[in-house]
Structure 1
């Protein structure tokens, strides 16, 4: 039987516990929901690594996220070589990976 998890009606981001020692990777965290998730996790002392297609976008997002253990990996999800290079730079496991980025309207190619 499938178990469905639901969030209680009275739950909010302030209910997130202290996340000291936990590592999160979030794609799509330079804006929108990913940026909001990274911000809340950083506020709870998590180590957050965001992905970005450019250094400028990563640095802008980190400024918006505010203080905390936040870093970035350069990665373009439309470029498999870029994804491989980013994965090769990861030196420690993540506790949670949030796959939030959307990729659309890319040219058809065979891989």
Structure 2
């Protein structure tokens, strides 16, 4: 991981920071000397994550349901009370309803997925932008997906893909709104990454595992640390001209 001296002492919020990509990114920021706040729903998982992060640097956890605007507001109040500012945000948290093909999906499942992966990003950005005391030096990175740039490759993922397309549209539009004075707003679009949900799915279904590997020209799926490295670069001064950038981290998936 490159060293980014500009991150020393800066405050970063990572939603969904207790596991997977979020936890890897929290660890990467902590190693740079940033003050890390992870936010998630499950306290037990968060406690385990904090034990890991404690060895790396300054880290705290606050509970949040990112689909609830009032809960997001309470989270932001807690960050401001603790640190007085917010410099970086990685909107990574997400949740979904039961997956199903479009013709069989319930309205409730659709709304839960759209709220869990898209409305949540809007609510977080809405609060984060207002909290950033020095917008010209602040950065927001949203976690989109390669499925926000193409259709979902298995039946049942239409709502997820639609939500991630929305995240990319939201990212680019908000980036233009704030291009001149900041914050810079970008997104990462990971391909298949070795996170607990993907790993468990591949273990359960050998055909899915073969298909996922085949979809990744590199020959193996990515790691959470590889995505974290991209998030840090987008937040660093090294990427100061990246505005509205959607960075695919996919092992050649979209190539």
Instruction: Please classify the TM superposition score into its range, dividing by the shorter chain length.
Output: 0.7 to 0.9
Q: Comparing 50-59 with 28-37, which one deviates more in the overlay?
A: 50-59
Name the residue aligned to 1:30. 18
Q: Comparing 30-39 with 69-78, which one deviates more in the overlay?
A: 69-78
Match of 2:77 among 61, 65, 88: 88
Tell whether the 8 Å contact from 2:22 to 2:92 is kept in structure 1 after alignment.
yes
Q: Take 1:93 and 1:69, find their aligned partners in 2: how far apart are those partners?
A: 15
Which ranges in structure 1 are unaligned for 5 or more consecutive residues? Answer: 1-12
1:17 and 2:8 correspond: no
- The CA RMSD over aligned residues, in Å, is 2.0
Normalising to structure 1: TM-score of the pair? 0.73
Q: Take 1:73 and 1:30, find their aligned partners in 2: how far apart are those partners?
A: 11
1:16-70: per-residue Cα shift (whole Å, max 9, x none)? 3232211100011111111001011111111000002133222111112232110
Normalising to structure 2: TM-score of the pair? 0.35
Tell whether the 8 Å contact from 1:39 to 1:66 is kept in structure 2 after alignment.
no
Which ranges in structure 2 are unaligned for 5 or more consecutive residues? Answer: 99-107, 113-255
Whichever structure has more helix as a proportion of its residues is 2
1:102 and 2:98 correspond: no
Q: Take 1:88 and 1:95, find their aligned partners in 2: how far apart are those partners?
A: 15
How far has the Cα of 1:80 moved from its partner?
3.3
Name the residue aligned to 1:70. 59
Q: Take 1:79 and 1:43, find their aligned partners in 2: how far apart are those partners?
A: 31
Tell whether the 8 Å contact from 2:17 to 2:39 is kept in structure 1 after alignment.
yes
Determine helix, strand or coil for the equivalent of 2:12: strand
Ranked by relative contact order (alpha carbons within 8 Å, sequence separation 6 or more), the top structure is 1
The verdict on how the C-alpha distance between 1:84 and 1:64 changes in structure 2, with shifts beyond 3 A counting, is same
Rg comparison, structure with higher value: 2
Determine helix, strand or coil for the equivalent of 1:76: coil
Whichever structure has more strand as a proportion of its residues is 1
